[in-house]
Chains A and B, each alone.
With several copies, the nearest count.
Chain A
């Protein structure tokens, strides 16, 4: 099971995982190892107070690129299941931006696949952050923080 959800509306990652797992992964197919990463919007960046963010993306290519990354990771690490949820549009501090979850028979595979998915997502998925500072300035984030 592989699933990508690019969404404009907020989500609560733990409720999302509970609902998704209950629907998509029957209890008798539960994997031994699950690794999850959640990235949350902070209210500061590069020393400035940030009050809001707009996340632009390339509709179509975003979903396609994420599905490719998920499929590659699922094959490379023999994952039982993988899930990527990513916000777009207007985002406020403390809201989750990204959720990556993988299910595997082995914990090393789960950890490595989850981390790899986050890194490749950050470097190749067509999203762009534009942040609004507390003084009203609007600026594009030039680059992601290193891994």
Chain B
């Protein structure tokens, strides 16, 4: 099961893609997912992350089949 990676808003534009599928048979860290999906070495401090549509911190592990999202600070309301 691939890991589905999503990018939103200004981060989506900077990365140049909105969605990417990563093949993995083992759990990955969010840092690894960021590097493999964005092509950028370091996960910026102000990027927010979710796994399966729930907020997580950068130390969380991601399982094959999970949906991961990276996005900038939210500005709704």
Are chains A and B touching in the complex at the 8 Å CB cutoff? yes
Count class of interface residues, chain B: 10 to 19
Bound state CA distance, A42 and B74, in angstroms?
Answer: 18
- Chain A interface size, under 10 / 10 to 19 / 20 to 34 / 35 or more: 20 to 34
Q: Evaluate whether A128 and B10 lie within 8 angstroms (CB atoms) in the complex, with A58-B71, A60-B53, A64-B53 already known.
A: yes
Q: Pick the interface stretch among A10-18, A23-31, A74-82, A137-145.
A: A137-145
Q: What is the bound-complex CA distance between A57 and B75, given in angstroms?
A: 10
Confirm or deny: B76 has a beta carbon within 8 angstroms of a beta carbon on chain A: yes
CB-based contact B76/A98 at 8 Å: yes
Tell me which of A39, A60, A64, A128 has the highest count of chain B C-beta atoms within 10 A of its own C-beta.
Answer: A128
Is the pair A58, B77 in contact by a Cβ cutoff of 8 Å?
no
Given A64-B53, A124-B55; A58-B75 close (CB under 8 Å): no
A-B contact pairs, 13 of them (CB 8 A): A39-B77, A86-B76, A97-B76, A126-B8, A126-B50, A126-B71, A127-B77, A128-B8, A128-B9, A128-B75, A130-B9, A140-B75, A143-B73
Please name 12 further chain A to chain B contacts, defined as beta carbons within 8 Å, in addition to the given A61-B53, A86-B76, sorted by A numbering.
Answer: A58-B53, A58-B71, A60-B53, A65-B53, A86-B77, A122-B74, A125-B77, A126-B76, A127-B76, A127-B77, A141-B75, A142-B75
Q: Please list the residues of chain A having a beta carbon within 8 angstroms of any beta carbon in chain B.
A: 39, 55-58, 60-61, 64-65, 86, 97-98, 118, 121-130, 140-144
